[in-house]
Amino acid sequence: MAAAGGAHSHWTSRFAFLMASVGFAVGLGNIWRFPYVTGENGGAAFVLIYLGCAFLIGVPILMAELMIGRRGDAAPPIAMDNVARESGRSSQWRWVGGMGLLAAFTIEIVYSVVVGWVLWYLYKAITTGFADVDALNAEAQFTAVLGDNWGMLFWTLAGLAITGLIIFAGVKNGIERAVTIMMPLMFALLVALAGFNVFAGGFGEAVAWLFTPDFSKVSFATVLAAIGQAFFSIGVGMGGMMTYGSYLPRSISISQSVLIIVIADTGVALLAGLVIFPAVFNYGLDPAAGAGLIFQTLPVAFAQMPGGYIFAVLFFLMLATAGITSMVGLVESVNAWIEEHYGVSRHKSAMIVVGSIAVLSILSILSYNVMDELRLGDRNFNDAADYFSNQILLPLGGLFIAIFAGWFMRREFSREEFTTLGETGYAIWYFLIRYVVPPALLVIFVLGVTD
């Protein structure tokens, strides 16, 4: 089916598609959060439960989103509309695609500021290497960052400029070229940093933290954490995967690609744990420091470890790469829709999307200081944006995608898209997308809005 804005661009290789998809899925949050959640919930026991949830929930919903994107051959709202009409259903399903775009745009407003912090800390690592930084200095340094609105704005705009240039150049010359360089670079940096930690100390403790199964820590809450991690960590429900699916040639197997994406996403997160947590354990730091682990805790370790200057530079370069590739996917989903829906050039749509995010990111920046007391309910702007996108839009969007793919899209169309799946494999997917994924996402949604 044709998109409203004309023929779509397509990935020139499966490698480019996989690098873009893994880059989108692997963000700043799951690089520090996944290893920590793993350690707190029984190590290898949690990993086994997570993998089960990933294959029961993450794989089916990701397959559905990519399938709809490719079948609809357009940005998410138009793709949903195209496939719904083809199946004899209401065009109102386009609003599910619109929810994904709204989630991506909302997330990007806040996320671009955090990526700006990473770039700023990369600059600090290059210029100072965090020499002589102790716990008090690190905390004071990060507090100073949060109080420097002009500094945060500069580095936020720097991250958006890099993202905008990639989007501006197009699918082949921009996104493909960027991810086929940046993602192998990120993998290489992760391996190199993990290898460094083998000799730097704390590696054994990190391996025990991540990979020693402790089934005494496994509870119903552990299973819920695994379900949530399986859904949120692979990047579905925010339009990016559906947009990337619309660029996917029919010669590339969706099911095989999805398995690679989920395994790579999990592998990167665990490898990141072997980069971060050896330093944490070796220097007696707090593994539960959350986002502050990156900006307040690790600089203390960098200041003390042999070769800390090089480690710090490479670490923040790796983190910046993960942040930018995720931003590209978030921006591209909105950009593709504006380009197609309004019939404008990619260059113009890229400037519109990046420019509007840049303006609205000021609200996020100010919410860390002067606007912190301005509340929406009991939340400041950043907390409200996070709640609206992550607790409402993403699980509801994923839920409606699963319901559409399992109950409203004509079965023969989904069967046509999964040509490499045997009858048994397709039957398993169809059962999961109808009877397993919707209840799981409903649980995620209910827990999110009631917590």
Is there a domain that residue 7 lies in?
no
- Cα 353 to Cα 106, 152, 168, 197, 271, distances in angstroms: 12, 20, 11, 40, 33
Mean pLDDT (whole number) for 37-48: 85
Give how many domains the chain has, as a whole number. Answer: 1
Tell me the percentage of the chain whose pLDDT exceeds 90: 60
pLDDT higher than 80, residue 75: yes
Q: The domain spanning residue 74 has which CATH number?
A: 1.10.4160
Cβ-Cβ contacts under 8 Å for 433 (sequence gap 6 or more): 60, 61, 63, 64, 402, 405, 406
CA neighbor of 197 nearest in space, from 296, 104, 283: 283
Quickly list H helices, 41-93: 44-53, 59-72, 76-86
Is there a domain that residue 217 lies in?
yes
Contact between residue 285 and residue 93 where contact means Cβ atoms under 8 Å apart: no
For residues 336 and 280, which has the higher predicted lDDT (pLDDT)?
336
Confidence of residue 290 (pLDDT cuts 50, 70, 90): low
The mean of the pLDDT values for the chain is 90
Mean pLDDT (whole number) for 197-208: 86
pLDDT higher than 70, residue 103: yes
pLDDT in tens, 396-417: 999 999 999 999 999 999 999 9
For residues 371 and 367, which has the higher predicted lDDT (pLDDT)?
367
The token pair at 362 is 């000021």
pLDDT higher than 60, residue 443: yes
Is there a domain that residue 6 lies in?
no
What whole-number distance in Å separates Cα of residue 53 and Cα of residue 63?
15
Is there a domain that residue 262 lies in?
yes
b/e map of 249-288 (b: 16 or more CB within 10 Å)?
eeebbbbebbbebbebbbebbbbbbbbbbbbbbbbebebe
Is there a domain that residue 352 lies in?
yes
**Coil, helix or strand for 379?**
strand
For residues 450 and 347, which has the higher predicted lDDT (pLDDT)?
347
pLDDT in tens, 4-40: 334 468 999 999 999 999 999 998 878 878 887 888 7
pLDDT higher than 50, residue 3: no
**Residue 2 confidence (pLDDT):** 39
Q: What is the DSSP track for 81-139?
A: HHHHHHTT--GGGHHHHHHHHHHHHHHHHHHHHHHHHHHHHHHHHHHTTTTT--HHHHH
CA neighbor of 39 nearest in space, from 258, 261, 293, 259: 293
Is there a domain that residue 9 lies in?
no
- Pick the most confident of 35-44, 188-197, 293-302: 188-197
What is the length of the chain?
A: 451
For residues 430 and 45, which has the higher predicted lDDT (pLDDT)?
430
Is there a domain that residue 100 lies in?
yes
What whole-number distance in Å separates Cα of residue 403 and Cα of residue 433?
7
**Residue 71 confidence (pLDDT):** 96
**Residue 64 confidence (pLDDT):** 97
pLDDT in tens, 332-354: 999 999 999 999 999 999 999 99
pLDDT higher than 70, residue 164: yes
pLDDT in tens, 118-160: 999 999 999 988 888 888 888 889 999 999 999 999 999 999 9
Tell me the percentage of the chain whose pLDDT exceeds 70: 97
Is there a domain that residue 230 lies in?
yes
The DSSP element (H or E) to which 142 belongs, if any, is helix 135-147
Least confident among 40-44, 173-177, 262-266, 318-322 = 40-44
* Domain ranges, residue 117: 14-450
